[in-house]
Chains A and B, each alone.
Chain A
């Protein structure tokens, strides 16, 4: 029998470097996703390929829902469409009891088309075109207002309908974190919210029934949510006292982190990312200690990435090998930042489909685009890979299949591994026809 072949490698020895290699190597292999072999997925559905796990989606949703319900009596999860609005993914969350959180006409229409009733929709966002705003009002959506101009639009709609409209206010505030998303809604500390409330009350057309605060995304500070909850409760009591409104819901937005490795964070996510139970505790403690007993407004959470990120994988194939002028090894993959928008902010876990002999070596993973920015990972530690080797990148379930772009090449299939272990296509690969269908050639260019 021939000896097993290893690609020849030479590594410069650095103190401490070789010590780690064994442990990182054993963590780098992924042969299957929910029992379906990676090789089989690629053979049937091609590469690159996004793969979602229905089991993980449902389990994470149930875990988070029960976690919060264990801490506070009235909780609603509203699925953040922008995080992943593939029909099948939304359907799964809606089946589990999530309402829909949308921020545009497109997202509103997509939720309605999926069969979500208007009164099960939370409508946020800095620009809600008048037409869709009117539809949302008529269909009973919860509308969280972002600006004074939107208040004017709503007052006009109220005049049309002849009824007082129930709205929520988006509030931004200092919760001790950076960056502060202070461009959305009305500022608390400056007194802007109260000014706006006075303006609304004087208009007599609208009534404030909810408060909303989305602080940002991938927030690693559970206490920031405690502070936001406290401030919202205080504000709701002030509004109820001053204007006679009843605040029926407090919406803390999204922002819980997934187990992803944010760039610039030195520690691995297992250490750097606090458990979600800490967020639940901080929020519930703030609410329960401040609210009068028995008077529990609905707590709405628009959790996006923490629900979906870890259920998504991208299988990609090494298509070419390179050696860079500085000596580093580099690989060209068939998936780049066209598909992995979040590669700009996160270091994905990179796993190889099988055990590959040879010492891990620092290397760069490039995508297939003819663009210098197309870097999937600037320093992975991988054994020498042969052309054709498949890699599994994760977590990639949040914000990639929405922010991906049709640029230079086609977007690939997305499949779902069902709870029974079947594989279903939930989005077909793009074809040339899909892309050119909307183009027109003027007569003189024909």
Chain B
């Protein structure tokens, strides 16, 4: 799992030791990364975000998918394995 190798700080600083690239994520981005690492599914994370931020599950899921796609472009996420 690619996510495991990443160094993620509490401030949202992400370092990929394999490529040497650094990234920043915002608060919600950080939440998604952490929950994914804990093994939660995007659907489950959408539920949490909808609770915490008062947005609909659909909007949360759509934004999560968008986020994951961005991660995939950076080579940080693979659809099947995470």
Interface, chain A (partner B; CB < 8 A): 2-13, 18, 321, 323, 326-327, 329, 357-359
User: What 0/1 pattern do residues 21 to 62 of B give for CB contact below 8 A with A?
Assistant: 111111111011000000000000000000011110000000
Choose among B26, B54, B66 the residue that contacts A2 (Cβ–Cβ < 8 A): B54
- Which residue of B25, B26, B66, B69 has the most chain A CB atoms within 10 A of its CB atom? B26
Q: Name the distance in Å between A330's Cβ and chain B's nearest Cβ.
A: 11
Q: Is B63 an interface residue (CB 8 A)?
A: yes
- Which residue of B25, B31, B54, B66 has the most chain A CB atoms within 10 A of its CB atom? B66
Q: Is B71 an interface residue (CB 8 A)?
A: yes
A9 pairs with B26, CB closer than 8 A: yes
Interface, chain B (partner A; CB < 8 A): 14, 21-29, 31-32, 52-55, 63-64, 66-67, 69-71, 73-74, 76
In the complex, number of A-B residue pairs with CB atoms less than 8 Å apart: 69
Choose among A3, A8, A12, A358 the residue that contacts B74 (Cβ–Cβ < 8 A): A12
Q: Which residues of B contact A358 (CB under 8 A)?
A: 26
Q: Which residues of B contact A5 (CB under 8 A)?
A: 28, 53-55
Q: How far is the CA of A2 from the CA of B54 in the complex (A)?
A: 6
State whether A8 and B54 are in contact (beta carbons under 8 Å apart), knowing that A13-B23, A327-B74, A359-B24 are contacts in the complex: no
Choose among B25, B31, B53, B55 the residue that contacts A10 (Cβ–Cβ < 8 A): B25
Q: How far is the CA of A3 from the CA of B55 in the complex (A)?
A: 10
Choose among B27, B63, B73 the residue that contacts A326 (Cβ–Cβ < 8 A): B73
State whether A8 and B29 are in contact (beta carbons under 8 Å apart), knowing that A2-B52, A2-B53 are contacts in the complex: yes
Least CB separation from B28: chain A residue: A8
Q: Say whether chain A's binding surface is mostly helix, strand, loop, or mixed.
A: loop
Least CB separation from B24: chain A residue: A11
Least CB separation from B67: chain A residue: A8
Q: How far is the CA of A327 from the CA of B31 in the complex (A)?
A: 21
- Which residue of A10, A13, A358 has the most chain B CB atoms within 10 A of its CB atom? A10
Q: Name the distance in Å between B16's Cβ and chain A's nearest Cβ.
A: 10
State whether A321 and B24 are in contact (beta carbons under 8 Å apart), knowing that A2-B54, A10-B29, A10-B74 are contacts in the complex: no
Least CB separation from A321: chain B residue: B66
Q: Name the distance in Å between A361's Cβ and chain B's nearest Cβ.
A: 9
Name 6 A/B residue pairs within 8 A (Cβ), A-sorted. A3-B53, A6-B28, A7-B63, A7-B66, A12-B74, A323-B73
Q: Say whether chain B's binding surface is mostly helix, strand, loop, or mixed.
A: helix
Choose among B22, B29, B73 the residue that contacts A9 (Cβ–Cβ < 8 A): B29
Q: Which residues of A contact B52 (CB under 8 A)?
A: 2-3
Q: How far is the CA of A372 from the CA of B7 in the complex (A)?
A: 40
Q: A7-B66, A10-B76, A321-B66 are in contact. List 7 more A-B contacts (CB 8 A).
A: A2-B52, A2-B54, A6-B28, A9-B25, A9-B29, A11-B25, A12-B23
Q: Which residues of A contact B29 (CB under 8 A)?
A: 8-10
B63 pairs with A10, CB closer than 8 A: no
Q: How far is the CA of A13 from the CA of B29 in the complex (A)?
A: 15
Least CB separation from A324: chain B residue: B73
Least CB separation from A386: chain B residue: B59
Q: How far is the CA of A326 from the CA of B69 in the complex (A)?
A: 10
Choose among B14, B21, B22, B25 the residue that contacts A8 (Cβ–Cβ < 8 A): B25
Least CB separation from B33: chain A residue: A10
A9 pairs with B53, CB closer than 8 A: no
Q: Which residues of A contact B74 (CB under 8 A)?
A: 10, 12, 327
Q: How far is the CA of A6 from the CA of B29 in the complex (A)?
A: 9
State whether A11 and B23 are in contact (beta carbons under 8 Å apart), knowing that A2-B52, A5-B55 are contacts in the complex: yes
Q: Which residues of B contact A7 (CB under 8 A)?
A: 28, 63, 66-67
Q: How far is the CA of A12 from the CA of B15 in the complex (A)?
A: 10
Q: How far is the CA of A12 from the CA of B74 in the complex (A)?
A: 8
A12 pairs with B64, CB closer than 8 A: no
Choose among A2, A18, A323 the residue that contacts B24 (Cβ–Cβ < 8 A): A18
A323 pairs with B69, CB closer than 8 A: yes
A10 pairs with B21, CB closer than 8 A: no
Q: Which residues of B contact A3 (CB under 8 A)?
A: 27, 52-53
Q: Which residues of A contact B53 (CB under 8 A)?
A: 2-5
Least CB separation from B65: chain A residue: A323
